[in-house]
Chain A
Amino acid sequence: MALLISACGFTEPRKFVIINENCDTDGSFLISSLIGQRLRQQSSAIVLICCHQSLKFYETCGKKLGYNLIMSLNKKSLVVIEKLRDVPSMTSDPDKLLDQLYAEINSHVNTFKSNGIKNVSVIFDDITFFTNLGCTEKDLIKMSMKLHKLTKECSELSVILKVGLSDLHQYLTNNIEDLSDVSITVEKLKSGDFWDVDGKLKIKKVKCENGIYMTESERNILYYVGDHNVKIIAPGEHGLKI
């Protein structure tokens, strides 16, 4: 797990991370491991926005990965905005919907800031969920830009955005990728299903020097999700050993 976390750059002080999920892939294991890593840090807090998976899912997976979300909820180092639960009562106006959400995130971040917490992470589990509720890609780009601006204003804050079906939302993905410090793409193997490997992670780290964004490193790793851990494998590691 530690290898995955460091390979994805979650240990580095990256402010804006994007997780792209291609069709028929699930990057929830990245969110789960990231939550575990952030909760173990001293003076840290998380604002988790659940749209794709419920809190119960992360709680159950967390127990398997070795952390307890309920304890963090009780300690008030974790705030959960369960948008999936609120779908029936949500407003049908997409602009209002995202504005309300942004205001909610902002207020939680400010509360953490005023409590003197040094590392605040906003984890957005699937921003494209809102396309099902009538939001356009432009609305979501605006929302991402607002969150990006918030990271610039607030030194304690880092934002992790998950974009589902990123290969179908190319316009959205490209625009958010331009803002990101790290972009992780979860892909299926082109050669089909394989017992020991579930898919491929493309990790691209970007560095900003004098206002110019440059690619710092780009690497591909394979992953396998087990019930209690996630293994990473270098491409070519699996094969016939003579």
Chain B
Amino acid sequence: MSSFVKLKKENLPEIAGIKTSIRNHQICSSGSDSFDFVIGGGIELNSIIMIGEDKFGRYSDVITKLYLGDGFHHKHQIYFASLDEDPMKIMKDIPMPHENQRQAQAETSSNDLRIAFRYQDCPQIDSVQRGHQIGVTYDLNKKYPKEIIESYENIKFFTFKDLQQQYPRSAFECVIEDLDKIVKENSNNLLRICINSVGSPLWYSDDFSTQLLKFLAHLKSITRYNNVVCYMTMPLHLINQIDETLIYRIRRLIDCNINLESFNNIEKQTNAVFKQYHGLLHIKKLQTIAALQSHKPEAFDLAFKLKSHRFVIEKLHLPPELQENESNEISMSCSSSSGNKSLDF
């Protein structure tokens, strides 16, 4: 007898933008098809996903905007906490969906090979990480008009001003209190929680580590038992300065952790291997909400690129060596560049 267990539809909430994954769990999109593909189809409902920010938070901001953009497009309830930047400013930059979804998904050019016609039928090697399922893709260059964003009702912000008003209470306490209230009121819609730069200096207090862990335990409790997905970014280079073991404790309480490393140092920027990318993507933990085993991506060596219209994740590979040597000589890998010696092991 087959052990296949079909998911019963009557038990599932019917919410726009939610689909069933092959692992038999409800998922929603992160806004980037590449990112969804890498984490196993999308963000699982009732899970917490954490992005380790790159050094200046440039690329993690892009993923945040895509995540918020998808929530906005599907009219989900949004809770957005950001102490470092004004959340409204970030919201105004969220991308709009592509007008022609199919065309945006395909993005393939017709290669009419006239000379090397033998290679015409060979399958194209595509290192871009994306699935076959057609979802909504977003154009990073197109933004919603301000009026539409400002008139959106299903959103609540938590800013630095709110924190100042609630002084001596910590930011963690305020966020949890807000979430408890929202979750009680919201039952039919999906609540997308977005917490930006948790652990940046504005979140610090005397017992920061203890408060952070307590906050995450509380957050896990809220997300597991309600229609909630939680996304947060964390400046890991700062967290590691406080306590090197803290990241392991944090990772224990969340479901998915992906770290971004942008090429800010000259060594990596000038390295030929990394020339075509903007940074590396490190998978640390993948979600296992409804299965013993997490999704296994095709490759763990991944790099990302920020194109003008979209955020793309690719398999890391060496660039093709098209240039000839300066001296136009055929050189062996074990031979020296000076022509006198044939080999010098």
Contact = CB atoms under 8 A, between A and B. Distances in A.
B213 interface: yes
Nearest to B285: A24
Interface in A55-96: 56-57, 60-61, 63-64, 66, 84-88
Interface of A: 23-24, 26, 28-29, 32, 52, 54, 56-57, 60-61, 63-64, 66, 84-88, 129, 131-134, 164-165, 168, 193, 195, 198, 225-228, 230
A61 B292 contact: yes
Nearest to B224: A54
Contacts of A131: 213
Contact of A84 (B224, B245, B285): B224
B218 A87 contact: yes
Contacts of A129: 217
A84 B220 contact: yes
B3 A66 contact: yes
A85 B225 contact: yes
A227 B300 CA distance: 20
A222 B245 CA distance: 26
Given A24-B285, A88-B221, A132 B292 contact: no
A134 B290 contact: no
A132 B288 contact: no
B293 interface: yes
A80 B281 CA distance: 39
Contacts of A63: 5
Contacts of A227: 23, 291-293
Contact of B221 (A64, A85, A230): A85
B253 interface: yes
B121 to A, nearest CB: 30
Contact of B217 (A64, A87, A193): A87
Given A24-B251, A87-B217, A225-B293, 6 more contacts: A24-B248, A24-B284, A87-B220, A132-B213, A132-B249, A193-B300
B214 interface: yes
A45 to B, nearest CB: 24
Given A60-B290, A132-B213, A228-B3, A88 B300 contact: no
A131 B290 CA distance: 25
B214 A132 contact: yes
A143 B66 CA distance: 46
A182 B24 CA distance: 35
B289 interface: yes
Contacts of A84: 220-221, 224
Contacts of B216: 132
Interface string B2-14: 0101000000000
Interface residues of B, number: 34
A57 B289 contact: yes
Given A54-B225, A85-B221, A26 B248 contact: no
B78 interface: no
Given A60-B24, A227-B293, A26 B288 contact: yes
Interface centre among B213, B252, B285, by most A CB within 10 Å?
B252
Interface string B203-235: 000000010011011101110110000000000
B180 interface: yes
A168 B245 contact: yes
Interface centre among B25, B252, B291, B292 (most CB of A within 10 A): B292
Nearest to B24: A60
B84 to A, nearest CB: 25
15 contacts: A23-B251, A26-B288, A29-B292, A52-B252, A54-B224, A56-B224, A57-B290, A60-B24, A60-B291, A61-B290, A66-B3, A87-B218, A87-B221, A168-B249, A227-B292
Contact of A164 (B222, B245, B252): B252
Nearest to B294: A26
Interface string B275-304: 000000000110011111100100010000
B25, B180, B221, B288 — most chain A CB neighbours (10 Å) = B221
Nearest to A28: B292
A232 to B, nearest CB: 14
A64 B5 contact: yes
Contacts of A134: 210, 214
A51 to B, nearest CB: 9
A226 B225 contact: no
Contacts of B253: 132
Closest 6 CB pairs of A and B: A87-B221, A132-B217, A132-B213, A23-B248, A60-B290, A225-B293
A66 B1 CA distance: 11
Contact of B218 (A24, A66, A88): A88
A60 B23 CA distance: 11
Nearest to B219: A87
Nearest to A195: B296
B244 to A, nearest CB: 10
B16 to A, nearest CB: 23
